Amino acid sequence: MSHLHEDKIKFLEQKANDIRESIIEMLVEAGSGHTAGPLGMADIFTAFYFHILNHNPRNPLWEERDRLVLSNGHICPVQYAALAHAGYFPMEELKTLRKFGTRLQGHPHKGALPGIEVSSGPLGSGLGQAAGIAFAARMDGRKFQTYCFMGDGEQDCGIIWESAMFIGKNKLSNLTAIIDRNNIQIDGMTEDIMPLEPLREKYESFGWHVLEINGHNFEEIIDAVEEAKAIYEKPTMIIAHTIPGKGIKEIEFDYKRTLGGKISSEHQ
């Protein structure tokens, strides 16, 4: 157990709540965008930007920073909100999401906004990029960690498994990936669209150390990352079970109302 101080957990819970509020405000203002993934991943993003990551919002390109690669770019509202709350850019800018001229593009654009490590949106390509960063870091003896956040829907992509094989082969233990296992994708439930299970065994057979956690429990999130860092002979995959739309009871688990659809102000 990480023995997180109770105050720390309360702080993270409050922060995650604030981030969820920001996400809803942003999406209402934008008039489009995904809600399920961002809300479901709010706790994990909070744990990373406010506890786990070794980073400096005032110096986003600091060479020794941990790299957080977001592969499923469509959940970027949660990353944008977390970055703003962490101090990477002014909070007011969140309202510009998806509008002409914004640095907060509909899907993230590296170079447009501080804290965005890679452009993403087309699914599946984050893991390979994270692998490249981790490989380069190991070549140069750098100590930073590389994290890759993925969706479960994008586990359908062939490139994910190309990358998983490469990372397993090269034992990139400085890379930890997290799958947002919320069981939904655009067309329905993942197990109906293209079954992923047994997901844990798939990654294990590719040479990964695999952990499964409750993606809304801060102690479990932080403990899993600590364990990943302690394992030197393998990369770690954390399958984080989350609730899509978490935090807004009316839309939790409802893929039809949370994926890609328009969110109305009644959900505020």
Write out the residues near another protein by the rule CB under 8 A: 69, 109-111, 117-122, 124-125, 127-137, 139, 158-159, 162-163, 165-166
Which residues pair with residue 181 across a beta bridge?
Answer: 241
Buried b (16+ CB within 10 A) or exposed e, 208-225: bbbbbbebbbbbbbbbbb
List all residues 6 or more positions away from 230 whose beta carbon is below 8 Å from its beta carbon: none
Which is closer to another protein, CB of 101 or CB of 141?
Answer: 141
**CA–CA dist 125, 122 (Å, integer):** 7
Burial (CB count <10 Å: 0-12, 13-18, 19+), residue 132:
middle
Indicate the residue among 101 and 158 with the shorter CB distance to another protein: 158
Q: Which is nearer to another protein, 119 or 173 (CB)?
A: 119
* Closest to another protein by CB, 176 or 183: 176
In angstroms, the CA 28 to CA 50 distance is: 25
CB of 39 to another protein, least distance (A): 25
For the purposes of burial, counting CB atoms within 10 Å of the CB of 20, is it exposed (0-12), middle (13-18) or buried (19 or more)? Answer: buried
Pick the closer one to another protein by CB: 22 or 79.
79
CB of 267 to another protein, least distance (A): 31
SS3 at position 236: strand
Nearer residue to another protein within complex by CB, 134 or 239: 134
Q: Is 203 helix (H, G, I), strand (E, B) or coil?
A: helix
- Least distance from another protein to the Cβ atom of residue 130, Å: 6
Q: Which residues lie across from 185 on neighbouring strands? A: 188
Q: What are phi and psi of 162, to 5 degrees?
A: -60, -45
If the CB atoms of residues 11 and 161 are measured against another protein, the closer one turns out to be 161
* Run of H or E including 164: helix 158-169
